Amino acid sequence: MILVGTVYGWITISLPGLTSGDNMPLKLTDDEGSWLVSLTLIGSTIGAFMGAIIADRYGRRFCLLGCSGFFILGWSFVLLATNVEILYVSRVILGIGVGIAYTASPMYVSEVADTKIRGTLGCLTAVNVLTGWVFTCLIGFFVSYATLACVFLILPMIFVAIFVWFPESPYYLVAVGRRKEAYRSISYFKGTTKRNQLRMEMKHICKILGRDDSFKPNNRSADMNRQSWLDKIRLMKQPSNRRALCIVIGLITAQQLSGNFCTMQYVESLLTKILFPGPYATSTSVLMLRLSFSILTTVSVETVGRRKFLITSTFGLWLTLSVLSCYLGFFRKLNDMGIDNLAFIDVICYQLLYQFGLGTLTNALLGELFPMEAKSVAGAIVMMFDGILGFTVLKLYQVINDNAGLWVTYTIFMFCSLISFVMVYSFVPETEGKNYQEIRALLTEGKVVSTPTKERQCIEVEHGLPRDEENGRRDEVHGDGIADAEIVVNDGNGKERNIEIVSVEHEEKRNVSAVNAELEEERTEERGTKIESSKAERIELENDGAQTTEKQKTELGTTKEERTEIRGAGSETTKGESEEPTDKESRNKLMTVTD
C-alpha cells in the first residue's frame, strides 16, 4: 500500500510545478491538471473489477504481486512522458494498480490476521498509504522530476522481491482444496508447527468456508467454487451482506463528500488562499501529523473500538468544516493574521480528525463485514463506487470553486459530514473482538449473543465428526483460558443444532485440559450408558426369543395334537365303513335261515 501512497503523493508534489512549468518537461493548464488527478480514479474503477476476478481465480497473493506490474509500467510512462496525453495514460495505468491493491489487500490482511489484531492490521492499509504519501513529499523536495520517477520505478521491484516469499491466504487455499499448502500457510502465519494447533485452526477455517476437514467439499463449498459473477452478485441480496454493503458504501460516501481527498490533492492551493506562507512545507507537515494520528488509531483501535473512532471523526469533521466554510465565506477578506492562523489550525484539525477514524477504519471494515465468498465482489463494488464518486467530486470541486467560490464547496462538505455523523451513529455496528459468525449475526439480527469481557473465548464442540475408530467422533476445545465461552454444537454436515452460552466466573477460569477432561469423562459415561443399554436390549431380545420359542413349541404341540385327532377321526371313519358290509352279511344269513 506504500506504492498506492506514492501515486497520490506524486500529484501533491508535482502538480504545482506542472501547472507553473518550473523545471518540468511540460506545462499543464488547470483543467488538464484536474483531469490528471481524476483519471487515477477512473483507473482504480477498472482495477477494482480486475482485482476481484484475479483474487478469486488465482489468489490474493498473486493479485498483489500482479499489481506491481501496473505500477512499474505506469511510472515508466511518467518517466518518458513528453506530452499530456502520455501522462493521462500513465495515471490510468497507475490507477488500475491502485484499484487492484485496494481490492486484494483488505482480503489478504483479514484472512491471515487473528481476530485480536485484525482491526490493527486492517488500519495499517491507511497507515502505509500515508507513509508512501509522506515519503513522496519528503524526497520530492530534493530530487528532480525524472529522479523521482526512477525511485518510484524501483519500489515495486523491491516489493515483489520481498512479498514473493509470503504464502497465500489459508482461506483461499482451503477454498480451492490445496490442503498441504494451506497447512504450511497456517503454520507460517500462526508461528507454530504443533499438529494439534494446526488441525484446530484448519477445522475453524473449514467451518467458516462450509467444508469438512477431510477436504471433501459439501454443497456450499462446491457451489462457491463454481459460482459465476452473477451468482456472487446475488450474494449481496442476503440480509447480512446487503447491510454490510450499505454500511461500507455509506462510509466511502462519507470519505469522498467530506472533501478530504480533494483538499489533499489541492492542499498547497488551499493554504495559499488562506494566506499562509510556505504552503509546501506546511502541506508536508500536515501529512506527517496525519500519519501520526493514523498510527495512534491503529494501535488503539482494538482497545477503543471502531464505532467510537468513527463517531468522533465524523462529528469533528462537521465542526471543523463549519469553521472553515465560515472563514472562507466571511472572514478571509479581513486580512486579519489572527483569524488566518485560526483557519490554518482548523485545516490541520480537519485533516487529523479525518485520519482519526473515517480515513483509517473504512478499509478495515471492508475486510471484516463480508464473508469469504463475498469479499471479492463486495470489494469490487465498493472500489468501483469509490472511483466513480471520487472522479465526480474531484471534477465538480474545481468547477464549483471557479464558478461559485471555495466557501460554497466547503459548505457542501460540511452538510455532508453532518449526514455522515448521523449515519455512523445510527447504523454502523461495533465489530471489535468479534469473529465472522458473530459479525454475521450482528448484521442479520442487529444483536449477537456474547459477553464483553476481555477473557471471552470460543469453544467449539463438534459432534458427528470422526475422531478415531474407538470413539467414532471428535470433541475439541478452542482457546486457552475460558471466562465466558460460546459452545456451538454442529452435526457432521456442518449444520448448527444448538447454540448456548456457558458463563463461568472470572476467578474460576478453566483451562483447556480441564474442559477436555470433562469432555472425556462425558464421553466415557456416554459409552458406559450405551453399553448398559445395549446389554439391556440384548437381555430383552433373549427373553423375547425364549418366549417366542415356547410359543412356537406350544403351537407345534397343538398342531401335532390336531393332526393326531384328524388321523383318529379318519381311522374311525374307515373302520365304520369296513364294518357296514359285515352287518349286511349277517342280515342276509338271518333271512336265509328264516326261509
**Three-state secondary-structure class, residue 76:** helix
Question: Amino acid letter at 528?
Answer: G
pLDDT(477) > 80: no
pLDDT(390) > 90: no
79-93, 368-382, 412-426: which has the minimum mean pLDDT?
A: 368-382
What is the pTM for the complete model shown? 0.65
Give the torsion sign (CA, 472, 477, 483, 487).
negative
User: What is the pLDDT of the chain when averaged over all its residues?
Assistant: 73
Q: Please tell me the predicted confidence (pLDDT) of residue 466.
A: 38
Express each pLDDT in 8-35 by its tens digit: 888 888 887 888 777 777 888 878 887 8
Give dist(CA 97, CA 47) in Å, integer.
6
Q: Please tell me the predicted confidence (pLDDT) of residue 33.
A: 82
| Contact call for residues 294 and 363 (beta carbons, < 8 A) | no
pLDDT(595) > 50: no
**Torsions phi, psi of 498, nearest 5?**
-160, 140
Express each pLDDT in 246-283 by its tens digit: 999 999 999 999 988 788 776 666 666 655 555 566 67
For the chain, the domains span: 1-166, 169-213, 231-447
| Contact call for residues 210 and 220 (beta carbons, < 8 A) | yes
CA 415 remoteness from chain centre: 32
Q: What is the DSSP string of 410-439?
A: HHHHHHHHHHHHHHHHHHPPP-TT--HHHH
Q: Please tell me the predicted confidence (pLDDT) of residue 24.
A: 78
Q: What is the DSSP string of 453-512?
A: -TT-EEEEEE-SS---TTT-S-----SSSBSEEEEEEE-TTS-EEEEEEEE--GGG-B-H
The whole-number average pLDDT for the span 481-488 is 36
Q: How many CA atoms lie within 13 A of 27 on its CB side?
A: 4
Express each pLDDT in 213-247 by its tens digit: 555 544 444 444 456 667 777 778 888 888 888 99
Count of Cβ atoms closer than 10 Å to residue 253 Cβ: 18
List, as own/partner pairs, every contact residues 327-333 make where C-beta atoms lie below 8 angstroms and the sequence separation is at least 24, other chains included.
327/274, 328/273, 328/274, 328/405, 328/406, 328/407, 328/410, 329/405, 329/407, 329/411, 332/273, 332/274, 332/275
| Contact call for residues 27 and 18 (beta carbons, < 8 A) | yes
pLDDT-based confidence at residue 74 (cuts at 50, 70, 90): very high
Give dist(CA 559, CA 429) in Å, integer.
82
DSSP strand pairing (496-503 vs 484-490): antiparallel
Q: 231-447, which class in CATH? A: mainly alpha
Q: Please tell me the predicted confidence (pLDDT) of residue 257.
A: 92
Q: Please tell me the predicted confidence (pLDDT) of residue 105.
A: 85
Q: How far is CA 40 from CA 249, 294, 399, 582, in A?
A: 20, 23, 18, 133
* Region at 278 (left for phi over 0; alpha for psi -120 to 50; beta for the rest): left
Give dist(CA 135, CA 408) in Å, integer.
33
| Contact call for residues 13 and 140 (beta carbons, < 8 A) | yes
Q: What is the maximum span of the chain, computed from C-alpha positions, in angstroms?
A: 178
Express each pLDDT in 523-561 by its tens digit: 666 666 556 656 666 666 566 555 555 555 555 555 555
H or E element in which residue 204 lies = helix 195-209
Q: Please tell me the predicted confidence (pLDDT) of residue 73.
A: 94
**Torsions phi, psi of 432, nearest 5?**
-60, 125
Count of Cβ atoms closer than 10 Å to residue 73 Cβ: 17
Q: 1-166, which class in CATH? A: mainly alpha
Question: Amino acid letter at 276?
Answer: F
Q: Exposed, middle or buried by CB within 10 Å (0-12, 13-18, 19+), for 52?
A: buried
- Asked if domains 1-166 and 231-447 share a fold, the reply is yes
Q: Exposed, middle or buried by CB within 10 Å (0-12, 13-18, 19+), for 343?
A: buried
Give dist(CA 230, CA 212) in Å, integer.
26
Identify the residue with better confidence: 467 or 328: 328
